[in-house]
Amino acid sequence: MNGALVFLHGVGGAGRIWRPQADHFAGRHNVLAWDAPGYGGRALGDEVSFKAMAAQLAEDMDDAGMPSASIVGHSFGGMVAQQLVRDFPDRVQHLILSGTSSSFGRPDGDFQQQFIAARTKPLDEGNTMADVAAAVAPGLVGESAPKSAVELAIECMSEVPETTYRAVIAALTQFNLRAGLPNIACPTLLIAGSEDTTAPAAMMERMAGRIPGAQFIVMEGAGHLAPIEQPDRFNQIVEEFIA
């Protein structure tokens, strides 16, 4: 075995959205494709916060026999990863952040309000999570994304309980670890999709500039769901970095 790898999914995802990565790295690495609290049939828990999720992740790593690991966090999962490296720095060998941010920004900002409304307003109007998934997922990928990537995203998002989805969206609005970026001491890589409008490449590049020694890579043609849009390229980038 070449060390442990932990994959953290986005707000509309699940551990199984990392299937292309788990299949690729299995056998050479101890792999955990994590389901956050409230996902994959897990109970949501009494406290829905990034500190609570990072603490749960540390416990789950213990259960999986992972004193430390290379952490790959996508979108919301990238925020959990940042909280983990802040609260449990010894647990993180490498930090790989994909399509994420160090801060949600002002909850009353135009982008933030549009983000929340696009995801919760349809539920308020009586739509189901499947309806939300069908409306949101196609806009998260690049123009050249395979149909299978959109189908997997819709499938996973449709299965997220509405209570979980709402609670995590609310937690996102409170996330802000930007001031702690200069304190990240482990080898760090940021991966952006050139067509990602949720976590734009320019924003992620600025974020990388605040982390000492961080590397930054743009995946051309990828949108927000780069790990499943271009899994072979994503896996190659991760593999080369942790090597």
Q: How far apart are CA 65 and CA 147, in angstroms?
A: 36
- H runs (alpha helix) in 39-92: 50-63, 76-87
Q: How far apart are CA 4 and CA 29, in angstroms?
A: 5
| 213 CB burial (10 A radius; 0-12, 13-18, 19+) | exposed
Closest CA to 90 of 72, 63, 67: 67
The per-residue pLDDT string of the chain (243 residues; one tens digit each, 9 = 90 and over) reads: 579 999 999 999 999 999 999 999 998 999 999 999 999 999 998 999 999 999 999 999 999 999 999 999 999 999 999 999 999 999 999 999 999 999 987 767 787 778 778 778 889 999 999 999 999 999 999 999 999 999 999 999 999 999 999 999 989 988 999 999 999 999 999 999 999 999 999 999 999 999 999 999 999 999 999 999 999 999 999 999 999
User: Domain 4-242, what architecture?
Assistant: 3-Layer(aba) Sandwich (3.40)
Closest CA to 235 of 78, 7, 4: 7
Q: How far apart are CA 84 and CA 88, in angstroms?
A: 5
Alpha carbon distance, N-terminus to C-terminus of the chain: 13
- Residue whose entry in the numeric block shows the structure tokens 């949101």: 136
